[in-house]
Structure 1
Amino acid sequence: MIVLVGVVAMGTLLVLFCCSLYRMAIHRSRKAFLSADPNMPKVEDSRIREVKEWFHAQSFEKAEIVSDDGLKLRAHYLEPEQGGRDAVILAHGYSGKGEDMAVFARFYRERGFIVLMPDSRGHGRSDGHYIGFGWHDRKDYVRWIEYLVKRLGEQARIVLHGVSMGGGTVLMTGGEPLPPQVKCIISDCAYTSVKGILTYQLKQMFKLPSFPLLPITSLICKLRAGYFFGEASAIRQLRNCCKPILLIHGGKDTFVPTKMADELYEAIRGEKEKLIIPEAQHGTSVLVDPASYAESVLRFIQASFGKQTQNA
């Protein structure tokens, strides 16, 4: 009897701990633990301040759609001065918001692109009580693609560009049926799957084993957010992707390990390129080597479009 009581007590504590893990990682809340993580680079220099000032000086239009499950999703929409039908959808990272992609928004707008910067579900100004890690977001981004095609017409040419969780989001989106207006996908420092990155982070950040914590937390996630960690896989989605893909990763990324870029690259069945910035940490490739980043991105887009991009 004492043994049984002990087992029940241990099981209860384990479930409660996994509920705490869910609230920390998946539930919509401030992710204070990220600021204490040594694997997350602290980036704040004059370029970041300058691009923030640029962002707040722009006259953005507010865009809004409704997701398949009834959430109101919001985005910033910005047209270039000279007009055009080339567009980019920018996908931000974990616990972020659309405006975090301002450095990319400026880059694309200066080259004649329309820029759409969504706040993913559970982030920023969009509805939602949980983080989808790209899985539920993939269908949201299909809706954003439809929004642009309807607005810009059949001649639109669309690029998907995401960083970190946003990189995983655009890869997972790529596995969905997409219209011909989507010409290519650029994924920067993405993970292979939610299960894979959480297994890595449990060990890296907290020195904890994935079993039995991850299976239990995954079940809680299924009950509360509607998905298992194992099903949220960029690797699996890439099997169905027919769009050209450029993978970018930092050679010194210890938050999402660089080897995940190699695994993703091997999983891509169609046209693909890979750029590793040797000295870059997580999400900093565009700052560490902006020349190589810009050259690779523009060359890749031009090849995917089939002709020179406007003002490239």
Structure 2
Amino acid sequence: MKRRIVYISGIIGSITTALLSILGFVATNRLMYMKLKDNDVILKREVLAKRFDEHWYETVRKKDLWVDSPNGYPLRAVFLKPLETTRTVIICHGVTENKINSMKYARLFERLGFNSVVYDHRRHGDSGGKTTSFGYYEKQDLQAIVHAVRKEIGSEAILGIHGESMGAATTILFGGEFEEEANFYIVDCPFSDFSQQILHILRINTPLRSRMTLRIANLFLKIRDGYTTTLVSPREVIRNVTKPMLFIHSLEDDFILPDMTKELFDLKPDQKRMKLFEKGAHAKSFNENPEAYEETIKSFLSDFHFIN
């Protein structure tokens, strides 16, 4: 009888281990290899919406930059120089997008007196890299981009960073670790903690609603990609950011909840502004409120004396 119980327990244990392994592998695949939007689809979408002017892009003064990531792959960036100025903003797109999605912000900053640098995150667009890490490795890539831009504009030039969604979280993670390297930050719909964000997505989209799923995923994520979601937490570093920061979110966003931006705003000690738009789904604040969005950024830059 005892032998039978041990045998049955062994079978159950083996099945459980196999199921947990499958769950961990599938969950980390969904994170590491999240399906990207087709580059042509992004281009067509932005052109049709008149957020990307192909003629302007073809004729504007610009410089292609290939920047070596400290993580061992090339990053594709484009330094857009429509103006005779050293004032520059680096623009970080969201997950599944590419640098074309950043062009609308480049035109906005041009109107405010800044040149801009758009680039593709790892595994996106023309950049290398095998996985997406939602800010963990991306913050180191951003530092490499900042260093390359500083070589172009000089150490005394005004340099800002604008990030959207994952790009916003990356911007905060960068600012919290490499604070001295930029003069200001603008973060549009960032998550405050990646673990909490994953749980939110699981609870609204899947029957997997427990933290056990996340713990299993983290075990496999650490083995497969060298980090865990607990290390991707803007809330843990936001207090280190002393430079001015503008927080933007839309109250209609049900993907990354606006409460996450409110939390980050409250945690940052000072030198901060926040704008919550009534209208706009996730990462659509500019699309739905272009004039008010630009005016919000203009006021922020003026308040902190980056423009007259």
TM-score (norm 1): 0.88
Q: 1:26 is matched with which residue: 32, 39, 56? A: 32
Aligned twin of 1:78: 80
Higher radius of gyration, 1 or 2: 2
Q: Which runs of 5+ in 2 are unaligned?
A: 1-6, 39-43
| SS of structure 2 residue aligned to 1:221 | helix
> How far apart, CA to CA, are the structure 1 residues paired with 2:59 and 2:131?
30
Query: Does the C-alpha gap of structure 1 residues 19 and 297 become closer, same or farther in structure 2, counting only changes over 3 Å?
Result: same
**Is residue 280 from structure 1 mapped to residue 286 from structure 2 by the alignment?**
no
Query: Does the C-alpha gap of structure 1 residues 219 and 23 become closer, same or farther in structure 2, counting only changes over 3 Å?
Result: same
Q: In the TM superposition, what is the alpha-carbon distance from 1:267 to its structure 2 partner? A: 1.4
Aligned twin of 2:107: 106
Number of positions where the alignment pairs a residue of Structure 1 with one of Structure 2: 297
Written as runs of structure 1 = structure 2, the 5 A alignment for 1:271-310 is: 271-308=271-308
> How far apart, CA to CA, are the structure 2 residues paired with 1:292 and 1:65?
34
> How far apart, CA to CA, are the structure 1 residues paired with 2:249 and 2:306?
25
Q: In the TM superposition, what is the alpha-carbon distance from 1:291 to its structure 2 partner? A: 2.0
Q: 2:14 is matched with which residue: 8, 20, 35? A: 8
**Is residue 95 from structure 1 mapped to residue 101 from structure 2 by the alignment?**
no
**Is residue 51 from structure 1 mapped to residue 52 from structure 2 by the alignment?**
yes
Q: Does the CA-based 8 Å contact 1:55-1:102 persist in structure 2?
A: no
Q: Over residues 250-277 of structure 1, what are the superposed CA-to-partner deviations in whole Å (9 max), with x where a residue is unaligned?
A: 1110010111111111111221111000
> How far apart, CA to CA, are the structure 2 residues paired with 1:267 and 1:108?
27
Aligned twin of 2:260: 260
Q: Over residues 9-67 of structure 1, what are the superposed CA-to-partner deviations in whole Å (9 max), with x where a residue is unaligned?
A: 122112212211211222264479xxxxxxxxxx9588624525356535542211112
| SS of structure 1 residue aligned to 2:185 | strand
Q: In the TM superposition, what is the alpha-carbon distance from 1:236 to its structure 2 partner? A: 0.7
Written as runs of structure 1 = structure 2, the 5 A alignment for 1:238-257 is: 238-257=238-257
Query: Does the C-alpha gap of structure 1 residues 46 and 72 become closer, same or farther in structure 2, counting only changes over 3 Å?
Result: closer
Q: In the TM superposition, what is the alpha-carbon distance from 1:165 to its structure 2 partner? A: 0.6
Q: Which amino acid aligns with 2:256?
A: V
Q: In the TM superposition, what is the alpha-carbon distance from 1:112 to its structure 2 partner? A: 2.9
Q: In the TM superposition, what is the alpha-carbon distance from 1:304 to its structure 2 partner? A: 2.7
Structure 1 segments of 4+ aligned residues over 6 angstroms from their partners: none
Query: Does the C-alpha gap of structure 1 residues 259 and 65 become closer, same or farther in structure 2, counting only changes over 3 Å?
Result: same
Q: Over residues 179-215 of structure 1, what are the superposed CA-to-partner deviations in whole Å (9 max), with x where a residue is unaligned?
A: 36x2211000110121111111111122322422111
Q: Which amino acid aligns with 1:85?
A: T
> How far apart, CA to CA, are the structure 2 residues paired with 1:290 and 1:47?
16
Q: Does the CA-based 8 Å contact 1:64-1:72 persist in structure 2?
A: yes
The Cα RMSD (Å) is 2.2
**Is residue 67 from structure 1 mapped to residue 69 from structure 2 by the alignment?**
yes
Q: In the TM superposition, what is the alpha-carbon distance from 1:89 to its structure 2 partner? A: 0.5
TM-score (norm 2): 0.89
Q: Does the CA-based 8 Å contact 1:184-1:304 persist in structure 2?
A: no
Aligned twin of 2:200: 200
Structure 1 window deviating more from structure 2 (109-118 vs 236-245): it is 109-118
Q: Does the CA-based 8 Å contact 1:66-1:72 persist in structure 2?
A: yes
Q: Does the CA-based 8 Å contact 2:163-2:188 persist in structure 1?
A: yes
Aligned twin of 1:35: none
Q: Which runs of 5+ in 1 are unaligned?
A: 33-42
Q: In the TM superposition, what is the alpha-carbon distance from 1:149 to its structure 2 partner? A: 1.3
Structure 1 window deviating more from structure 2 (150-159 vs 55-64): it is 55-64
Q: In the TM superposition, what is the alpha-carbon distance from 1:110 to its structure 2 partner? A: 3.2
Q: Does the CA-based 8 Å contact 2:179-2:241 persist in structure 1?
A: no
Structure 1 window deviating more from structure 2 (280-289 vs 83-92): it is 280-289
Q: Which amino acid aligns with 1:183?
A: N
